Each structure stands twice: as C-alpha cells, then as structure tokens.
Structure 1
Amino acid sequence: MIIDDLRDRLLGAVADRLIGLGESRTTRVVIDRDLKVPMPDGATLVTDHYRPVEVSRGPVVLIRTPYDKSNLLGRAYGLALARRGLQAVVQDVRGTFGSDGEFEPFHHETDDGLATLAWIREQDWCDGRVGTAGLSYVGYTQWAIGPYAEPRLSAMALGITAADFRPTFYPGRSVGWQLLLDWSSGIGIQDSGTRLEKLGLKRRVAAAMTTLPASRGTRASIGQDIGFLHEILDHAEPDDQFWDFLDHGRDLAALDTPVSMLAGWYDIFLTEQLRDFTELQRAGAEVRLTVGPWWHGDRPSVGPIFRDQVDWLAGQLLGDRAILARRPVRIYLQQAGRWLDFDSWPVPAEPRDYHLDADGSLITEIPATEAIRAFNYDPADPTPVDGGAPLGIPGGQVDNRTVERRDDVLTYQTATLADDLDVIGDASATIFVRTEHSDADVFVRVCDVGPNGRSLNVIEGIRRLRAADEPIDDIGTRKVEIELWPTAYRFRAGHRIRVQVSGGGFPNYIRNHQTGESISDAVRTAAGRTQILHGPEHLSRIVLPIFR
C-alpha cells in the first residue's frame, strides 16, 4: 500500500485540468498495486485498487482492460475517480500484462468479470455497491457482466461500445477488415513488441491490408498468426452461431441498472449503441445518451467521455444528483455547430425518399421511365474508401472527389438546396441490382457537396450478397436493403446531397472476391458487372429522416 507519489498527484491534477473534470474532493489517494485476484480455475488477475485517503469503506468502480492497467489511461481513470471520492479497481484481463492465462479476446470476460465482482464485494472496503466504467473493449467487459450480476451493478458508464459486437465485426454481412486487422495486429505485440515495432505498426498494418489470403493478414503485419483474426474470418457466414455469446443485449429490459452512454457519429459501434439506448429507454430504464462528432479514438472525444463517466458515477454512487440534471439525449448537430437536447431517441422526424435516376440525379419524385446504369467491379483493384469509421487512424469526413471520379463508382446528386436541411435519425437505402456473380457487394455512401465541389461523406452502409440471396424475378434482379448509419447533420443551403453506389469500400470493408469462396481463404478474384436499376418499377432510393 502506498500513498500516491508526486508523479501520480501531478498526473491527477493535469488530467483534471485537461479533461475539465472540475474540483476534486481530495488530492490524496491510496493505491494498492498488483493485487492478485483469484479466478475459479486458479488463475490470478493483477489488479490496482485506488482509494481516497479519507474513505475506508464505500462504493467501487470496476474497470477491466486488456490494454495495461498501468498505462496512462488506466491510471488516469483510477486517479480521476478516487479524487472525486470513489474507489476504483483497475484490472488487467486474463492473459494480458501481469495476469495469468492466455488472452483469448472476449471469451473469458463474463466468467472472470463476475468472479472479480464477487471478490470486490467480499472486501471490507466495499459497501456492496459496484459500478463500472470504460470505453471500447473496456465497455465490452462491462456488458459481459452487467446483465448477469447479482445483485445488479449500481451504475454503468459505457463509452463507444455496444452490448453486441457481432454487427461491428460483420457490417452488412461483410467483414470490418481495417478494424479487425488493425486490432488483431495491435493486441499481438502489445505485451512483447519492441518500441520500434509499435511505432511502425500502423504503416505495416496499412501495407498488410491487401494480403491474400486474408487469414495471413497478421503474419504480414506483425510476423505471427493471431487466433482472433482466424476466428473472425472462419465464422463470417450469416448463419454461423460461433459468436452468439457476444450478444449481451438479448434482455436489456431486465438490466435494471442506471446507464450512461457516449457515442460518436463516426464511431464503429454507433448503430448498435443507439439500439441499446433505444431498447433500455423503451423498458423505462434510467439511461442517458451523448453523441458527438467523433470517430473511434478521436482525441477531442477523450474529455467528454471522462466527464460523462466520472459525473455519472459520482451522481449515481455518491448521491450528487445535481450532476445528473440534464435531458436524457444530447446530440451534436454537425455543420450547425450546436448541441441539441431531447427526451428520447430517435427524435421526431419525417422519412423522405430520394430516388436514384439514371441521368445521375437524386430526386424526390418517382423517375418517369425504367433505365439502367452499370459499373464493373474488380476485386484485384477494389474500390477504395477513406474516412468514415476506421480504427486507429483518423476517420470522419474526407473529400471523396478522387474516389467519385473512378469508373467503378456511380454518383447521383440533388439540385442545389434552397434552404438548410437537417437530417436526424436512422437512414436506409434500397437498391435494385443485377450482378454478374451471385457473390457481390453493394456499397452506398451519402455525401455533402459544397459550392466549391468538395464532397464530404456523412453516412454509409454495405450489403454483401451471396448465392442464397434469391432474385425477385427470372432475370436476376435482386432488391438490396441497406442500413445506413444514423446521423445528425445539417446540409446547408447552397449545398447538394450526393449518393455513391459501388461494389465495395476497401479496406474498411473486406473486398468481395465474387467467386463464392471462403472469406478466410480466397485468393482468386473475378471481376464482374453490376447493373443498377431505376424507375417506377424499381425504386432505387435512399430514405433520410428530415427534422423540422
């Protein structure tokens, strides 16, 4: 047991100032480092316990991380919570850093988390009340125990995460390739890699994106196979039930735990996190939501995440209800530069159809005649995508004009908008296609085109077609329903709305080889023609929620 040293006191003070946490309740924190928490199978997980020096017994916040409890983020969590009167337990999950066992991502978090929770409640410094905090995978470790804890957790603070990770692994029945190769490579060297290896990781991962077969991706990026990547690729078929255990949102109505969520409009977990919020809200749970203009890991999001979580936990566990006095939903309206508060999500909005016309226009009227446009998609030169929702590299909005000039991308756009148009809520696309191969992807991206011609991406979605996706007629027409990201965005007067339709968005989404072979093992590629149908009998369109 030690009283925090000068380094910790300085870190706590600097973090408070940079993050904007406000006045601390104490500047002295007692830290017990490297406690050995026993698991039922005999493994021990190393754990740090932070306690305000004035507190001998009280509520505790549990943070379980695969990224090193002793790194800057782990220590900042422990110190920030303790300086505000809360105890914190920060633990390295199984197989990471000092904890026993093998790190098998996601597989042990429920059993180990519940065992750790039981251990905490047995300690004389815990009064029985336990909350949780963290973001991304550290949010998953919360969901892995929240629905199963008895007694229930006293509060959960969930940053950029979701109760079910499967849709993030497999967006639109494709594979989130950039996300998964980046993360698999990172966890592969986080314990053992040299400083030089870690500094060059992003460059090597980017170079490895084109590796074939995809199952060799981490061998190309870090020189070793990572089992997690093989699990993802080997279980990518829609009817594969291997990852069913990841779904901790099957009965959110019974959660009975106050929850705060923070998300980003370009975050990899956005769609699922909003679903979690909506289901909890419908069940009458005490839940609040904040969505900002961030991508996953965006530095401007760090302060809001910390403030949201520390304030929520202090309000719930220490009775400081004044901190909680805000409406349940707070969202940032992009391009309007302001935050909006609501009582629920989704907000009241009118769905509006924008039809794709064969002349390249995007119109609210139904096109007068049937017509076809087509592009040729070649997996050997996959249609690229930039920005959006990647992991570990900058995301969000980028200029799409270079991609839109490619001959494997079709574009459609509105006339110049006479007035500002606010789009808030869920969006979708319906595209009628005929593809040369039964296996093909349809990728849709909606952009904001300014008077200077710059085309900035706003929302997108993908749908992978397989042989099992039957045509709706005898000439191979298939109706493709695509879920687009939710958003809150102002298309300003003088701008245009543009829609891209293509055969992929590489490397954010793994390329479709169009051969029907396994995603994991495919090497051969087959170029093919995709036709887009337009007209009164084939209403290819996007649907946007218009907020007034």
Structure 2
Amino acid sequence: MRIQLDISIPMRDGVRLYGALYRPDAGERFPVLLIRSPYSTQHPRYVEWARRFVAEGYAVLMQDSRGRYESEDEWRPYVDERDDGFDTQQWIGQQPWCDGTIGTFGVSYPGFTQILPAPLRSPFVKALVPIANQEDNYGHMRYNGILQLQNAMNFIWLGQRTNQNAPRDLIDWDQVYRRLPLLTALDDLGERPFYREIIRHPCFDEFWASYSMKGQYGEVETPAYFITGWYDNLLHEGFKCFKGWRQQARGREARERSRLMVGPWTHTQIGSDDPFGDVDFGPAARVDMPQAHLRWYDQRLKGVDSGIDREAPVQLFVMGENVWRGEETWPLERTQYTRFFLHSGGQANSMHGDGRLSRQEPRDEPCDSYAYDPDDPVPTLGGQSMFIDNTGPKDRRPVEQRDDVLVYTTEPLAADVEVTGPVELVLHAASSAVETDFTATLVDVHPGGKAIHLCEGIVRTCFRDSYRDPSPIEPDQVYVYRIELWETSNLFRAGHCIRLEVSSSNFPRFDRNLNTGHPHGLDDGMQVAQQRIYHDRAHPSHLILPVIPRP
C-alpha cells in the first residue's frame, strides 16, 4: 500500500484542506473512496477501513474538514461542508490516480458530509454510503423543536480545531445538564459559538434551512446506501433521507437503486453484535461493514455484479425474533395500522396503577393526571440517545415506579405480534401551563416483568402546529397531539405485553420544558405543570402500531 500524507486540496475561496491518500501498490488509476471528517484523518476505524478498501483495489482519500486538525481556516460546524465537499470531489476526479469514479463513506458527521454536496451533482460521484446521518441539524439538535440537550452539549468535547477527549470524562455532566439558563451553561468550560446558536434558534429558520436537505432531494442523481440502527439517535433522520432519495431524487438510478439497512444498533456501534442495554440480539446482529460497503462500491464504481441490486432494497433486523429480512418498500405494503386505546379508572400512575391498553374503544372513563416538575424530571433510560450509557433496549422498570409516568399495558398476548414501521400516539391532553411537553415510550414487557424500551417520542406543545411559528396553548384546554415514536421492528412474543408510557420529560436526552412559556434557553425560572390525559368516548387517545401479519 502506498501512503501519501500532507496533500493540500484547494477550495474555491483559496483555503486549502488537508488530505491523506492510500493507494494499492500496483496500478496508477483507481476508483476513489472519500471520507470528509472533523475527527482527524487518523481515526482508527477509518484507517482500518481504508486498509480493507485498498486491499480490494480502491484508493482512499481522508480529508480533515475546514478548520479541523491540519486543514486551514475556521471550523463552522456543518456550514461549509456542502461547497467544500463538492470542490473536493471535483479536484479528486481530475487527479491522475483517479479513474473518474468516486464513492463516499463515513458515520455520523461524515455521513452528513456525504449527502450535503449531492444536489450539486459532481459527475465523478457514483455511490454514497451515509451511516447514521441526518437530513438536517434541526432534526439532529432540535427534534420537533425540542433541544436534544446531550447532542448540543456534545460540542464541548468536540472542541474548535481538535477533539477534547481527555477532559470529557472528568466533567460532572449531571451538574452541567441542569444548568440554567441553557444559553450560558457551557461558558465556564469553553468557547462554543455553535452551541449558543443552537440555543438561540428554537424554530426552523434560515439558520437551519441554509444547509438542510429539505427541498433538495429533487436535485440528487447519485444512489445512496443508508445504514442506521433501531437505537441510533439519527434513526428517524435516516428514514427521512431514504424516503427523500427513493421518492424525490432527480435521477432514476437514485430512486430505484438506493438502499437502507437497519440493524439492532446504537449510534456508536453500527454493525456490532456487542451486547448493550438489557437485551442480547445475538451473533446475527453483526455485519461486516467494510464488506457491505465493498459490495455496493463494486456494483456502482467497478460495474462488477455483486448481487446487491437483486436483493430487496430494505434490509431490516426484526428484534425479538432476531433475524434479518428483506423488504421491497418502507413502510411495508402489508402493514395493518392498528389502534390500541388507552384505558384506566383514573389511576394509571406508575406500573402499579390501573392503566390498560386494548383494541376496545373507550366509553366514559375518568382522565389520568400527574404533576410534571421540571426540577425532578423523568431520567433518560434507554432508547435512541446518542450516548452509550443511556441508550438501547434498557429495562424501564425503575422509571415506571414514578407517579409522574402513566403506564398502560395490554393483557399477555395470546399469539406473536410483529410491529414493524412508524409508531404514533394520538394523545388528548390538557395542561395547567401555557407551554409544556408530553412524551411517549413503547415497551416490550417480558413474562418475567422486564420492560424493554423499543422507541420513544416527544412533543412540545408550542410546536404542535408549526416548527416555524410556535404558539402557546390555553391552560386546561384539551388539545390533540400526534406524537411520533419513530420507527421500530420488534416481534412481541406470545406471553409478552405491549406497554405505553406517557409523561412529560426525558432528561437529559431532551432539555426540560420549564412550563413558563418564556423564550427557550434564556429562562431560569420553573413552574410545576398539572397534566391530564383523556381517554373517553369524546377523547379516544390511542397508540397506532404498524402490525405486520404473520404466516
């Protein structure tokens, strides 16, 4: 393998970005695989992937994002990646060691750097493999307008030019997450202008739209192979991108050849079968990621029939059954969207309450109520968090002991029930506050009582109608909220129960709603909100599950 460091790559404004090139020993011109990253060209995972790719006849160029590590200028997170990515692709395509074809790769931020230049349509780029990437940063940093607090504060260790890994583990994060107002919460730790901008822009405005893929899919011609995990923090964003490519792309090949793989993985363990959370998905969870890339690249860049185009474009791992399955569409065409209604005698508080979930429509039932105190929020426990310590299929019973968590559970299932697709809760709710949050969590209850987290969602009441133009609610008035719990695929085995939790916080994955209605991130006052959940004939709150018929 030939290695060439210190490559200087010119951008349109004269700034030069650093690159490191890996090539096979024999040959002069190769298909080139590009990763553009803020995490250094020496990242161990990508150096190992480069070794694998070069062994199969590809050249690999790793590049530091503008302002990071060896690259010139100032790092403005995400903002310059579209133009810099396109300029880099055009430069590579004209180099004597490039055969005129380029593929891209990378996880998370380097996944986003792949899709941003796609609407500019470099003629050299033939295949993308965005892993655990977002459609835009509004979905990444402010899901449904709600601040993903841990994601935003993650920028303290990302630093300005280099990662600040050493002090990361020495910071008392529990204390930092609770700081108010959020705008100044990191000021004594470091200078992070991007974090403050995240706080200052709670609505989907030009700050977010300026480098979003929304409205851009119609310009895309290059097929993409999207990869994510059921417990990836960017799972929902990945589905948005896949849908955009398959339904709106300008090029027929992009619409027909783009693919999606979703495994039982969290954001930092894509392709791994290492156990995490409180469920072991077994050896079938493991996927050789470099090999998966090579099958795609061989087909798209070399014209080698790897067989990938004859496989179903959607590859899903069905949790609970722990098997892979190919599907032709998403959502699945045979989906039976099934309503499960909330019921109780007015005491659904905690797992010890009387909350029930069933197919039977409600009649006259009392509402359930609880007090949401932002000074005592429900802790994040499992789910689609970015960070391994509080992500994944965790047992929710410690959370379900709380009286501010309403719990609705089916009877033990008489037969297996597969749920694969987008999950949604239609919630009829009122609050004493002018603004508050409501959360929902889908849980698989095992016969021994273990309550395994599957997926979750949240709504901020001011964004119930628009992410651009928020509006308060009238205290004590009933509103209907549609809460997306993202996507999942799980086989609820016979004898298991389907459970829904409803509450008003999920901290520190999301910031706490302080219930005051004051500008987000600028407030340090709190109020307790009295919440009421209705499930009667006039207010039939229900969970919509995408049930897949079993043979």
Settle same-fold status: TM greater than 0.5: yes
**Structure 1: distance between partners of 2:34 and 2:475:** 58
**Structure 1: distance between partners of 2:163 and 2:37:** 17
The answer to whether structure 1 residue 426 and structure 2 residue 422 are counterparts is yes
Cα distance, 1:133 vs. partner? 1.0
Cα distance, 1:498 vs. partner? 1.1
**Structure 2: distance between partners of 1:459 and 1:49:** 41
| TM-score with structure 1 setting the length | 0.89
The answer to whether structure 1 residue 375 and structure 2 residue 343 are counterparts is no
Tell me what 1:494 maps to: 495
Tell me what 1:308 maps to: 292
The answer to whether structure 1 residue 96 and structure 2 residue 52 are counterparts is no
Q: Provide the secondary structure at the position in 2 that maps to 1:268.
A: coil
Cα distance, 1:474 vs. partner? 9.8
The one-letter code of the counterpart of 2:493 is: R
Tell me what 1:396 maps to: 392
Tell me what 1:137 maps to: 109
The answer to whether structure 1 residue 197 and structure 2 residue 167 are counterparts is yes
Cα distance, 1:281 vs. partner? 2.5
Unaligned runs of 5+ in 1: 1-28
Tell me what 1:512 maps to: 513
The answer to whether structure 1 residue 334 and structure 2 residue 319 are counterparts is yes
Report matched runs for 1:311-460 at 5 Å.
Answer: 311-324=295-308, 325-347=310-332, 348-359=334-345, 360-394=355-389, 395-460=391-456
**Structure 2: distance between partners of 1:327 and 1:122:** 35
Cα distance, 1:131 vs. partner? 1.6
- CA 1:155–1:300 in 2, change beyond 3 Å: closer, same or farther? closer
Q: Provide the secondary structure at the position in 2 that maps to 1:466.
A: helix
Q: Provide the secondary structure at the position in 1 that maps to 2:62.
A: strand
The one-letter code of the counterpart of 1:90 is: M
Tell me what 1:6 maps to: none
The answer to whether structure 1 residue 124 and structure 2 residue 96 are counterparts is yes
C-alpha root-mean-square deviation of aligned residues, in Å? 2.0
Cα distance, 1:53 vs. partner? 1.5
- CA 1:80–1:364 in 2, change beyond 3 Å: closer, same or farther? same
Q: Provide the secondary structure at the position in 2 that maps to 1:297.
A: coil
**Structure 2: distance between partners of 1:424 and 1:37:** 45
- Superposed CA deviations along residues 204-260 of structure 1, whole A, max 9, x for unmatched, are 33442112121233346xx1131111111110125x331102312424244221211
Tell me what 2:282 maps to: none
Cα distance, 1:125 vs. partner? 1.5
Cα distance, 1:547 vs. partner? 0.3
The answer to whether structure 1 residue 250 and structure 2 residue 191 are counterparts is no
Tell me what 2:192 maps to: 226
The answer to whether structure 1 residue 70 and structure 2 residue 35 are counterparts is no
**Structure 2: distance between partners of 1:163 and 1:514:** 29
Q: Provide the secondary structure at the position in 2 that maps to 1:396.
A: coil
Tell me what 1:20 maps to: none
- CA 1:299–1:292 in 2, change beyond 3 Å: closer, same or farther? closer
Cα distance, 1:98 vs. partner? 0.7
| 8 Å CA contact retained: 1:278, 1:346 | no
Cα distance, 1:469 vs. partner? 4.7
- Superposed CA deviations along residues 33-63 of structure 1, whole A, max 9, x for unmatched, are 1101112222211101111112201321111
Cα distance, 1:416 vs. partner? 0.9
- Superposed CA deviations along residues 275-327 of structure 1, whole A, max 9, x for unmatched, are 22233223533111111001100265385433322321122112222252422
- Superposed CA deviations along residues 130-169 of structure 1, whole A, max 9, x for unmatched, are 1211111001111111111332621111111133332222
| 8 Å CA contact retained: 1:59, 1:127 | yes
Q: Provide the secondary structure at the position in 2 that maps to 1:167.
A: helix
The one-letter code of the counterpart of 1:505 is: N
Cα distance, 1:116 vs. partner? 1.1
The one-letter code of the counterpart of 1:104 is: R
Unaligned runs of 5+ in 2: 249-254, 273-285, 346-354, 464-469
| 8 Å CA contact retained: 1:377, 1:383 | no
**Structure 2: distance between partners of 1:97 and 1:533:** 54
Report matched runs for 1:140-159 at 5 Å.
Answer: 140-151=112-123, 153-159=125-131
Cα distance, 1:458 vs. partner? 0.8
| 8 Å CA contact retained: 1:181, 1:205 | no
**Structure 1: distance between partners of 2:516 and 2:289:** 43
Tell me what 1:4 maps to: none
| 8 Å CA contact retained: 2:263, 2:271 | no
| Aligned residues with identical type, % of pairs | 30
Q: Provide the secondary structure at the position in 2 that maps to 1:154.
A: strand
Q: Provide the secondary structure at the position in 1 that maps to 2:186.
A: helix
- Superposed CA deviations along residues 432-490 of structure 1, whole A, max 9, x for unmatched, are 1110111100000111111211111111100001295576x996111111111111101
Tell me what 2:234 maps to: 269
